[in-house]
Structure 1
Amino acid sequence: MKIPDAGAVPSSDAPAPGRRERKRRQVHDKLYEAAVGLFVAQGFEATTMEEIADTADVARATVFNHFSQKVGFLEEWGARRRSRVAAILGQEHAEDLPVGERLRRYLREMGELNVASRAETTVLMGASARFGRLLQDPSLEIELTKIAEEGQRRGEIRPEVAADQAGTLLAACYFSTVLRWIREEPPPFDLTGRLDAALDIILLGILTSTSP
């Protein structure tokens, strides 16, 4: 089941949520924060839905009303991070940047979130790779594809490039880089720097201009 992006920033013209909806969101956030705290403290596998309910001080059934499976917390973790980056870039009007710089800003913000919360990233992204749909979930691909499509409309990306394939390549590059980064302690390399370098390879290619 697709988990709603509770971290999304509501539209400015959206109606204010009613009291019941506000209460539901408060419980949802409380459950999410309890789960993430437990995952970091004792691991994803070791944490039960009962423990999440106890930590959030709600009935066990309430957890399942919001998250039908434990992996739902992992999906929401990823969704909230993407929403946070989108909000940051929206405030900076990143949509006005050239497509290469816009992609760089997006990946850099994602990387900086990981660096700022390395313990959380190590546990939750590792669990997402093992138990969730990290490499099958198209959400990040879709976001990056939208940026590539906008670049094509502006004439900044060659028209023969498949924008969806570019989005898939960029997302795969991001995930593989972060997964390598979380495997060792201390961090084996500068994450944002490595993401920058990987993006350069994608944008510029690997062949010299004189290569056949």
Structure 2
Amino acid sequence: MPSINRTEKRKKQTRQKIIRIAIDLFLRQGFQATTIDQIATEADIARKTLYNHFPVKEAIVDAYVRDQSMALAEAARQRPDQSPDIASRLLAALDTAYAWVEANPEFAGIALGYRMKNMWQGNDAKNKETGTRGLMTEILYQGQQAGEIRTDIPVKLLVLQIDMLRGSIVMDWLRDKGKFKLRKEIAQIVDLFLHGATSKKRRVKWETTQQNI
């Protein structure tokens, strides 16, 4: 057992090293200009070792984005919950996530494209849970338990619906980032998801939040 644990620890360390070095190269010289051979050389590992962890460069970016998403979600869990309702909690979680997307559009676009490719190729199992998705699942489940949202629809289906909405908005924004404010549009998606398309007195309001990204 100790030997297995050491092996898994080395694998994790190698994975993190690859991600760290690759992202540094992407930032310094661009994603397209960086090659797998260069990443392997900088990480001082064989190409085969790199491929054992990541089949393509896009997979490295996706892993990095997922790590960031997990870190943001965990930070959100550690903060005292001062949100009065599910709309506020859901908006706060997504606003933090998409502040990161706004600051890192290239990486977000590469990761999203890679996930879409996996899905269309029938490899959706590679699309592991993200921190944002996990946090949304928790918030929606808590909302059901508190009687804030309907309980006759499984949380899994609710998350899928909001995933589809937010995914389409992000893809549209990535095509033309001057078309609309991403986080404001995400807030409208939260409103539409929770309250539907009918006229409501209560509306989710979006305010620009200063973020240290």
Using the size of structure 2 for normalisation, the TM-score is: 0.72
* Amino acid in the other structure paired with 1:198: I
- Matches of 2:10 and 2:54 in 1, distance apart? 16
Q: Identity rate of aligned residues, in percent?
A: 24
* Amino acid in the other structure paired with 1:31: I
| Structure 2 residue 178 is matched with structure 1 residue 187 | yes
- Partner SS for 1:198: helix
- Matches of 2:180 and 2:157 in 1, distance apart? 27
- Matches of 2:137 and 2:165 in 1, distance apart? 14
Aligned length in residues: 189
Residue of 162, 166, 186 corresponding to 1:170: 162
How far apart are residue 111 of structure 1 and its match? 0.5
Residues 21 and 43, structure 2, Cα contact 8 Å, conserved in 1: yes
Residues 108 and 195, structure 1, Cα contact 8 Å, conserved in 2: yes
Moved more, 106-115 or 162-171: 162-171
| Structure 2 residue 151 is matched with structure 1 residue 159 | yes
How far apart are residue 123 of structure 1 and its match? 3.4
Using the size of structure 1 for normalisation, the TM-score is: 0.72
Give the gaps of 5 or more residues in structure 2.
201-213
- Matches of 1:35 and 1:204 in 2, distance apart? 43
1:54/1:29 CA distance change after superposition, 3 Å? same
Residues 58 and 111, structure 2, Cα contact 8 Å, conserved in 1: no
1:119/1:85 CA distance change after superposition, 3 Å? same
Residue of 51, 73, 93 corresponding to 1:106: 93
- Aligned partner of 1:139 in structure 2 is 129
Considering only aligned residues, what root-mean-square deviation do their CA atoms show, in Å?
A: 3.2
| Structure 2 residue 188 is matched with structure 1 residue 197 | yes
